């Protein structure tokens, strides 16, 4: 169980690499969206591993935070024009 | 027995997450990255939740993990679709080896 949580944390660093390096603004938004879903998985595994049940409530709330944040950023993005 | 089956499903979910994140780093374009990452990570996280439900059974932790699955299946593709539409309206070019762009034809 520890090794699975460690793998998921390393995958979060992959997402952070894309958010740091991403060539355009939508790349960074995609990386943050994927990062939110990965953190949900990490919270659920931690809830089983540490036997603290409130962490799964954190996961359930985090789904909607990521969703609303991504929708707001996509709406902000569609009214603008791309320049290098 | 439930413990072993649940752990196997969790490992399958983590493998899907890994494939999705490798696609997020390696693929050349916004739309390719969005497609690879969203599908694999959605299925992987739902696999983790379902494995936790199998491991825990019908107590409060297992039921909450089961409730997470439809929420992820509803919200993640919706967010990805909105993000792809926003990126296209924003004017991000496709990869130069892409073969068709139906949304661009539709806008004319």
Residue A82: the pLDDT is 65
Residue B29: the pLDDT is 87
Residue B63: the pLDDT is 92
Closest-CA distance of chain B to residue A56, Å: 7
Rounded percentage of chain B residues whose pLDDT exceeds 90: 53
Q: What is the pTM of this model?
A: 0.89
Q: What ipTM does this complex have?
A: 0.87
CB B20 within 8 A of CB B40: yes
Range B51-80 average pLDDT: 91
**pLDDT digit string, tens, across residues B71-108:** 999 999 999 999 988 888 888 888 888 888 888 888 77
Euclidean distance between CA atoms B91 and A56, whole angstroms: 39
Top-confidence residue, B25 or A1? B25
Return the axis-axis angle of helices B2-26 and A2-21, rounded to nearest 10°: 20
Helix, strand, coil in percent for chain A, rounding step 5: 85, 0, 15
Residue B10: the pLDDT is 93
A34, A50, A59, best to mutate vs chain B, most B CBs in 10 Å: A34
Q: Rounded to a whole number, what is the distance in angstroms from the first to the last CA of chain B? A: 59
Closest-CA distance of chain A to residue B34, Å: 6
Euclidean distance between CA atoms B30 and B28, whole angstroms: 7
* Residue span of the structural domain in which B12 resides: 2-107
Q: How many domains does chain B have?
A: 1
Q: Which chain B residues touch A25 with a CB distance below 8 Å?
A: 90
List Cβ neighbours of B23 (8 Å cut-off, separation of 6 or more): B32, B33, B36, B37, B40
Closest-CA distance of chain A to residue B67, Å: 8
**pLDDT digit string, tens, across residues A26-81:** 889 899 999 999 999 999 999 999 998 899 999 999 999 989 998 988 888 877 77
Euclidean distance between CA atoms B21 and A38, whole angstroms: 10
Euclidean distance between CA atoms B12 and B7, whole angstroms: 9
Q: Is the pLDDT of residue B51 over 60?
A: yes
Is A53 close to B42, i.e. CB distance below 8 A?
no
């Amino acid at each position: 169980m520890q090794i699975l949580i460690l793998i998921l944390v390393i995958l979060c660093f992959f997402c952070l690499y894309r958010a740091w390096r991403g060539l355009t603004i939508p790349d960074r938004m995609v990386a943050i969206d994927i990062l939110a879903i990965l953190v949900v998985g990490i919270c659920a595994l931690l809830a089983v591993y540490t036997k603290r049940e409130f962490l799964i409530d954190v996961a359930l709330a985090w789904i909607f935070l990521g969703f609303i944040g991504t929708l707001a950023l996509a709406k902000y993005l569609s009214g603008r024009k791309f320049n290098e | 027995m439930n413990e072993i089956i649940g752990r196997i499903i969790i490992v399958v979910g983590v493998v899907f997450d890994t494939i999705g994140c490798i696609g997020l780093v390696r693929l050349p374009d916004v739309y390719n990255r969005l497609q690879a990452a969203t599908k694999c990570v959605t299925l992987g996280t739902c696999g983790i939740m379902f494995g936790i439900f199998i491991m825990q059974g019908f107590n409060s932790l297992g039921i909450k993990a089961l409730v997470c699955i439809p929420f992820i299946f509803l919200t993640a593709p919706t967010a990805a679709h909105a993000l792809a539409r926003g990126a296209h309206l924003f004017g991000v070019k496709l990869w130069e080896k892409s073969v068709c762009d139906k949304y661009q034809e539709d806008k004319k």
